[in-house]
């Protein structure tokens, strides 16, 4: 069963077409990672699925329901979004911000329960920021803030999780910790994950399937081994790379372009030239 279905999606901003006829299905319980060069439309695609881009042409369905037919509260129970640039209220503490993830499950005149607070503290612990619970979010480093935003999203307990560059500002150790946690929760709760990522190796390592966007269109789709090829990356990114076969999938390694050496350049210059 498809958790997300997109038919003929077109998004325009002024006279610029950002997404141009996207057709895409994401199977329930799978992890799809969207990659592509800057300006390809990755963030716009995720935000449209989240119901944040209006108007648009085409159809976007979540669990068989058009997103435009979902009220905000109902949509928040189905979809959790980790945006690149979250809006964080000034002065809000880490604990209170993460607890906002429970809002869709709290009655209109109710408040979070002790179980909600305990679940929040547990999630902060898993993400390595429990000791920051009382700190204002704006005082955190970029990597710490990113993990708190992820905690809020995961606490929504939504069956679909949208991650827009979730490892931005994280060091390599925390990148692995965050993505491994998402993968663990995916298997434990049958989550469907859609992520955008600039790190192509990480994208291929965790996702079941990759979609490569270029100029607002699906240029390539398939397993990492089929999408992350030197030819594709040269064509769509203009990148000179080597793609090596690692233990868990393709490893994309940048390659330097040899510089032409003119007369008198480099270490072979004569003593007179020095």
157-212 per-position pLDDT tens digit: 999 999 999 988 889 999 999 899 999 999 998 999 999 999 999 999 999 999 99
Q: Write down the pTM of the prediction.
A: 0.88
pLDDT band at 270 (very low <50, low <70, confident <90, very high): very low
Query: What are the pLDDT digits (tens) for 5-25?
Result: 999 999 998 889 999 999 999
In Å, what is the CA distance from 219 to each residue of 11, 20, 64, 78? Answer: 17, 11, 25, 28
Q: Hey, what domains does the chain have and what are their CATH numbers?
A: 2-254 (3.40.50.300)
| Per-position b or e across 192-208, b if 16+ CB within 10 A of its CB | bbbbbbebbbbbbbbbe
Which two tokens mark 150?
Answer: 């992820």
pLDDT at 212: 98
| Per-position b or e across 76-102, b if 16+ CB within 10 A of its CB | bebbbbbbbebebeeeebbbbbbbbbb
Q: Per-residue pLDDT for 268 more than 70?
A: no
Percent of the chain with pLDDT over 90: 74
pLDDT band at 258 (very low <50, low <70, confident <90, very high): confident
């Amino acid at each position: 069963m498809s958790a997300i279905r997109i038919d003929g999606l077109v998004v325009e901003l002024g006279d610029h077409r950002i997404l141009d006829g996207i057709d895409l299905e994401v199977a329930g319980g799978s992890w799809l990672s969207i990659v592509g060069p800057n300006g390809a439309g990755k963030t716009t695609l995720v935000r449209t699925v989240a119901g944040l881009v209006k108007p648009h042409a085409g159809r976007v369905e979540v669990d068989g329901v058009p997103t435009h037919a979902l009220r905000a509260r109902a949509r928040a129970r189905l979809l959790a979004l980790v945006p690149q640039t979250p809006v964080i209220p000034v002065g809000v503490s880490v604990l209170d911000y993460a607890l906002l993830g429970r809002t869709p499950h709290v009655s209109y005149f109710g408040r979070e329960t002790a179980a909600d607070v305990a679940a929040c503290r547990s999630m902060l612990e898993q993400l390595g920021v429990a000791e920051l619970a009382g700190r204002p979010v704006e005082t955190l480093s970029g990597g710490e803030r990113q993990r708190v935003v992820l905690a809020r999203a995961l606490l929504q307990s939504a069956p679909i999780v949208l991650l827009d560059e979730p490892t931005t500002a994280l060091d390599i150790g925390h990148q692995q910790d965050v993505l491994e946690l998402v993968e663990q929760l995916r298997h434990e709760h049958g989550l469907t994950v859609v992520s955008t990522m600039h790190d192509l190796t990480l994208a291929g390592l965790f996702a079941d399937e990759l979609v490569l966007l270029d100029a607002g269109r699906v240029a390539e789709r398939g397993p990492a081994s089929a999408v992350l090829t030197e030819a594709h990356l040269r064509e769509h990114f203009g990148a000179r790379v080597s793609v090596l076969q690692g233990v868990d999938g393709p490893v994309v390694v940048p390659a330097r372009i040899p510089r032409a050496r003119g007369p008198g350049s480099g270490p072979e210059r004569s003593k007179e030239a020095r």
